[in-house]
Amino acid sequence: MRTLLYNCGEVAHLSTGDDEYPLSGNRMLERNSLVHPPGMGILIDSSKILKISPMEELVAEFAPWYPAKSENGGTRVVDIGGMAVVPGFIDSHTHLVWSGDRTNELSMRISGKSYKEISQIGGGIMKTVSSTRSAPQSELVEGGLRRLESAIKNGTTSLEAKSGYGLDLDTEVKLLEAISVIARTSPCDVRATWLGAHDFPKEMTNSDYVEHLISDQLPVIAELSLAKWVDVFCEEGWFTNEQTEEIVAESKSYGLESRLHVDEFVDSGGLQLASELGSVSADHVACSNEDSRISAAESGTVQTFLPGTPYVLGKEINLPIKQCIEEDWPFAFATDFNPNCPITSLPMIGSLATHRIGIEPIAALAAVTRNPSTTIFQDEGEVRGVIAEGCSADLNVLWSPSADSWCQTPGTSPVSFTIKNGVIVNSNNVY
C-alpha cells in the first residue's frame, strides 16, 4: 500500500545530501534550506519515502482519481490539513527499564543534598538496583513498554535503552533480555546498551567489581548478543578514567562499541577520553573543557547534552550549546529518562533547549533527529532522522502548520500522529 501525505504544511526535512553525518555549526540554522514550504506531498511506499514533490504533481502522477476517492489501486491519500511534518524523534540516551520508586529524593534535593550525598545515604542508583534485582522480568517488560508508549505518544520513533540497575550478572542479563522483548514488541526501534559499570555494588570492592565486569558479565553479554554498546559512568566518585578505558577496551575486543557518561558534575577528562576511545557518543558533557570538545569534533564523537537532568536536579541549565554551534562542534539532545529524571518527551527537552538556552527550534530539532541517528544507526547503512527520498518513513505530523511548533507545547504532545516505517503507530486526539 502506498500512502500519499497530501496538503502538508512545512516539512522539516533536514536533509543536505550528506545525511549520514550530523549537522553542525551554521548549517543547523539555515532554515530555508532545511524546511520545505507548505504545499508539498510525501509519497510513502511500504517502509520508505518514495518521492517528495509539490502535492498536485504527486496527485497527478499517482492518484489522478483524487479527491473523488481517497483510496484506489493500492494507493491512499491522506489530507493532513496543512499541518507540519518533521522526522521521527530519536532518543539516544535512556534508562528505560528498572523497578522501584525514588520520588522521595526531590525533597532531599530541595533540602540541599547533592546527587552524591543522596547516593551515600542509600538513595540514588543503588536504591533502584535493590528494587530491580528482586523484580520479575515480566514486571520490567511491562514497565518498559508503558514508558515507551509515552515516548511514542510524544513522537519518539527510535530509542537507545541501557541496563545498569542490576550490577550483577543475573540482573544485568535480565534487564537486557527485557529490553530485547520490548524491542520485539514495540513498533519503536529500540537498541540496547550494557551499562554494568553504572555504580559499584556494596558486596564488592571497586577493583573486584571491575574484574567481575570484564571476566564474568562481558563474555555472557557478548555471547548472548544482548547489547550493541557498552557504557560506563565515568565520573568523579564513580568509575575512573583508567577503569573506563579498561572496560571499553575489553568490550571492544568482543565487538561492542562505546557511548559514555562523562563530565556531568566536574571536568574529569571524560570527554577527552571518549574521543580517544572512539566512542560514538559522549553524554552529559556539562563540564567538559573546550580542548576536549574540539577533540570530540575531530574524532567524530557526538556530544550529547541532557538538559532534563539539571532541570530535575534543580540546577541551572548552563550548557554550552550556543558555543557548539558557533564553533561547529556536532551535538545531540536526549532525555536521560531514568527513575530520577522521568522525562519521556523529547519535545519537552526541545522546550528546555529553546525556551531556557535560547537555541533556534530548527537547530534543536536536528539535535533530536538527524544528529542522534548518526550515533545509533551508524553501522547499519540506514539513514534516519531526515525526511528524504529513499529513507525510512519515520515521521511526525504536528498540530501546527509550523515545524517550529515541535518544541512549544511543554506538557502536551505537539504530535497529531506518528508514522514508523510507513505505518501509523500513534494517533493523538488531544491538543
Question: At a CB cut-off of 8 Å and minimum separation 6, what does 261 contact?
Answer: 231, 232, 233, 234, 235, 270, 283, 284
CATH of the domain at 266: 3.20.20.140
Strands 189-197 and 229-234: parallel
Torsion-angle region of 303 (φ positive above 0: left; ψ -120 to 50: alpha; else: beta): beta
What integer pLDDT is reported at residue 47 of this predicted model?
A: 94
Please check whether residues 124 and 241 belong to one and the same domain: yes
Asked whether residue 176 is domain-assigned, the answer is: yes
Across 319-336, average pLDDT: 98
- Residue 381 lies inside a defined structural domain of this protein: no
Q: What is the DSSP string of 141-173?
A: HHHHHHHHHHHHHTTEEEEEEE--S--SHHHHH
111 shares its domain with 48? no
pLDDT for res 246? 98
207 part of a folded domain: yes
Q: Last residue of a domain, which of 376, 395, 416?
A: 376
Residue 105: is its pLDDT beyond 90?
no
Cell 515480566 found at: 138
More confident residue, 429 or 273: 273
Question: Same structural domain for residues 166 and 122?
Answer: yes
Question: Hey, what amino acid is at 360?
Answer: E
Which one is predicted more confidently, 414 or 411?
414
Cβ atoms of 23 and 386 within 8 Å: the answer is no
pLDDT at residue 370 tops 90: yes
Answer yes or no: do 272 and 396 share one domain: no
Q: 3-class SS at 35?
A: strand
Residue 110 CB-density burial (10 A; 0-12 exposed, 13-18 middle, 19+ buried): exposed
Residues 175 and 99 placed together within one structural domain of the fold: yes
Give the DSSP H or E segment for 425.
strand 423-427
148, pLDDT greater than 80: yes
Mean per-residue pLDDT, 293-298: 98
Asked if residue 291 and residue 340 are part of one domain, the reply reads yes
Determine if the pTM surpasses 0.95: yes
Q: Kindly report, residue by residue over 298-315, the tens digit of the pLDDT.
A: 999 999 999 999 999 999
Q: How many domains does the chain have?
A: 2
In the chain, DSSP finds a helix count (H) and a strand count (E) of 17, 19
pLDDT in tens, 180-230: 999 999 999 999 999 999 999 999 999 999 999 999 999 999 999 999 999
Find the helix packing angle between 124-134 and 169-185, rounded to 10°. Answer: 80
Q: Which of 376, 396, 418 is the last residue of a domain?
A: 376
Is the domain of 341 the same as that of 390?
no
Residues sharing a CB contact under 8 Å with residue 147, sequence separation 6 or more, in sequence order: 96, 337, 344
- Tens digits of per-residue pLDDT, 61-104? 999 999 999 999 999 999 999 999 999 999 999 999 999 999 98
pLDDT class for 378, splitting at 50, 70, 90?
A: confident
The identity of residue 274, as a single letter, is: A
CA distance 175 to 132: 9
Expressed as residue numbers, the domain containing 18 is: 2-87+386-427
Which residues, other chains included, contact 4 with Cβ-Cβ below 8 Å and sequence gap of 6+?
41, 42, 43, 44, 58, 59, 62, 63, 66, 75, 76, 77, 78
Same domain as 79, residue 60 = yes
CB 43 within 8 A of CB 51: yes
Q: How confident is residue 430, by pLDDT bands cut at 50, 70 and 90?
A: low
Q: Tell me how far apart the 2 most distant CA atoms of the chain are, in Å.
A: 73
Gap between the Cα atoms of 140 and 137, Å rounded: 5
Query: Are 24 and 164 within one domain?
Result: no
| Averaged pLDDT, 326-343 | 97
Report residue 244 CA to chain centroid gap.
22
Residue 146 inside a domain? The answer is yes
Domain for residue 165, yes or no?
Answer: yes
Q: Which comes out higher in pLDDT, residue 111 or 322?
A: 322
**Mean per-residue pLDDT over the chain, rounded:** 96
Q: What is the CATH number of the domain that holds 422?
A: 2.30.40.10
Strand ranges across the sheet with 302-305: 89-91, 156-162, 189-197, 229-234, 257-262, 281-284, 302-305, 331-333
Q: What DSSP element (H or E) covers 298?
A: helix 290-299
Verify that 12 and 99 share a domain, yes or no: no
Task: Write out the H or E segment, with its range, that includes residue 206.
Answer: helix 206-212
Residues 274 and 408 in one domain: no
Q: Under 8 Å CB-to-CB from 143, ≥6 apart: which residues?
A: 97, 98, 99
Which SS3 state, helix, strand or coil, does residue 139 take? helix
* Inside any domain, residue 265: yes
In a domain, 321, yes or no: yes
In a domain, 306, yes or no: yes
C-alpha cell, 232: 560506563
Read off the pLDDT of residues 110-146 as tens digits, 9 standing for 90 and up: 988 888 888 888 888 989 999 999 999 999 999 999 9
Q: According to DSSP H, which parts of 54-193 are helical?
A: 55-62, 105-110, 115-120, 124-134, 137-153, 169-185
Residues 150 and 265 in one domain: yes
